[in-house]
Chain A
Amino acid sequence: QKEVEQNSGPLSVPEGAIASLNCTYSDRVSQSFFWYRQYSGKSPELIMSIYSNGDKEDGRFTAQLNKASQYVSLLIRDSQPSDSATYLCAVNLDSNYQLIWGAGTKLIIKP
């Protein structure tokens, strides 16, 4: 059973601090990794994708991938109240279209 695990939270972070969201996956052949943000009552929105070990930065967001340890993280710098949402981790297997989804971590940024 291929799994993607996330802490459901809620994770509470003060405004301006760094929010760190983690995701672990069970299948070693996973090749593509995605972070989606979902506001309450809205659809998931793609934030970041990462394919290689290391860090990938996009504005205030940094995705970190460690394939040896089978985890992928999302860091949000200078957290804003508008970052409050559920963050979904999704993992894709090599040669397989399907994404395996985590249940999501609810993030709350406190002003």
Chain B
Amino acid sequence: NAGVMQNPRHLVRRRGQEARLRCSPMKGHSHVYWYRQLPEEGLKFMVYLQKENIIDESGMPKERFSAEFPKEGPSILRIQQVVRGDSAAYFCASSPPYSQETQYFGPGTRLLVL
């Protein structure tokens, strides 16, 4: 059973470009969470999604950031017009429907904005 998959693992963007981060949850998992982590800092919750629904986006900046989890395909975290402060590790986690609070993490995407 494959774990949570994220790609790309590393992404370099110049200021003003768009970044698209993808997350495929574990098989059978229908809940996806996105987190951001700055170096030497803790995890910061961004958004919680189920298939075709955003359940909670309270941790996501109001501008430039969006997330989706379509019926088919991976969850996407999209950052428009990236700035240097967006440089961080972005982790996706998924959980099964019978134990939503138990989250399993993907390897993360390291975003570097030049």
Within 8 A of A (CB), among B15-57: 31, 41-43, 45, 48, 55-56
Take A46-B103, A92-B101 as given contacts and tell me if A97 and B42 are in contact as well, using a CB distance cutoff of 8 Å. no
CB atoms of A44 and B100 under 8 A apart: no
On whether the beta carbons of A32 and B101 are closer than 8 Å, the reply is yes
Interface of chain A residues 54 through 111 with chain B (CB within 8 A)? 88, 90, 92, 96-99, 101-104
Known contacts A44-B91, A88-B43: A99-B101 contact under CB 8 Å: yes
> Which of A32, A45, A49 meets B105, CB within 8 Å?
A45
Q: For A103, list chain B residues within 8 Å (CB).
A: 41-42
Main secondary structure of the interface of A (DSSP, over half): strand
Q: What is the number of contacts between chain A and chain B, taking CB atoms within 8 Å?
A: 47
Decide: A99 and B103 in contact? CB cutoff 8 A.
Answer: yes
Does A1 make an interface contact (CB < 8 A)?
A: no
Tally of chain A residues near chain B (CB < 8 A): 20
Please determine whether B48 and A44 come into contact, CB atoms closer than 8 angstroms: no
- Chain A residue nearest to B50 in the complex (CB): A97
Contacts of A104 in B (CB 8 A): 42
Task: Collect the chain A residues with CB atoms within 8 Å of residue B74's CB.
Answer: none
Contact partners of A42 in chain B: CB under 8 A: 107-108
The CA-CA distance from A70 to B56 in the complex, in Å, is 26
Q: Select from chain B the residue with minimum beta-carbon distance to A104.
A: B42
Report 13 cross-chain contacts, Cβ distance below 8 Å, ordered by A residue: A32-B102, A43-B108, A44-B91, A44-B105, A45-B105, A46-B103, A46-B105, A49-B102, A96-B101, A97-B101, A101-B42, A101-B45, A102-B42
Chain A interfacial positions (CB closer than 8 Å to B): 32, 34, 36, 42-46, 49, 88, 90, 92, 96-99, 101-104
